Amino acid sequence: MTLENFINIFDELELVNKGEELDREVTKPYCCDLLSIAMSKMPQGAAWVTVMANVNTLAVASLTDAACIILAEGCNFDEASLEKAKEKGITILRSHMPVFECALMIYKKLNG
């Protein structure tokens, strides 16, 4: 599924920032809040579901070529981080769902 499609398909996810490269492929959901693990294990093109909302999340997402960041549990970036996300062209969505349920929902849509 392309990122463009991904953004449009979920009523449950609120679009926080529409980034660049919307024609890229979203491969699978990935969950982890510990940045060292995320950094080394994130699959290419991941929809990264996390509650870690700070500039370091953005750095890891861009270094690992994640397709987008999905903030779960109603978490939110602060203004400065949002500015940075816009500057870097990183797509961000958010949800009030818990991490697992959010990732499961994404998994079902990507695989069904």
Partner 1 sequence: MNERITLKYDVHCDDFTRAGEASSSVKRKLKLMGVNPDVIRKVAIALYEGEINMVIHSYGGTIEVIISPSVIEMILRDTGPGIKDIELAMQAGYSTAPDNIRSLGFGAGMGLPNIKKYTDDLKIESEMGIGTTLRMLVYIPLEE
What is the contact surface with partner 1 in residues (CB under 8 A)?
A: 33-40, 52, 54-60, 62-64, 80, 84
For residues 18 and 63, give the distance between their C-alpha atoms in angstroms, rounded to a whole number: 18
Give the CA distances from residue 85 to residues 64, 69, 92, 101, in Å, rounded to whole numbers and listed in that order: 15, 10, 8, 25
Question: Please, what is the minimum distance in Å from the beta carbon of residue 80 to partner 1?
Answer: 7
Question: Please, what is the minimum distance in Å from the beta carbon of residue 14 to partner 1?
Answer: 22
Nearer to partner 1, 59 or 105 (CB): 59
Q: One-letter amino acid identity for 93?
A: L
**In sequence order, what are the residues at sequence separation of 6 or more whose Cβ sits closer than 8 angstroms to the Cβ of residue 101?**
none
Instruction: Specify whether the backbone of 50 is left (phi greater than 0), alpha (psi in -120 to 50) or beta.
Output: beta
Nearer to partner 1, 7 or 54 (CB): 54
Nearer to partner 1, 7 or 39 (CB): 39
Nearer to partner 1, 43 or 105 (CB): 43
Question: Please, what is the minimum distance in Å from the beta carbon of residue 42 to partner 1?
Answer: 10
For residues 107 and 101, give the distance between their C-alpha atoms in angstroms, rounded to a whole number: 10
Question: Please, what is the minimum distance in Å from the beta carbon of residue 96 to partner 1?
Answer: 21
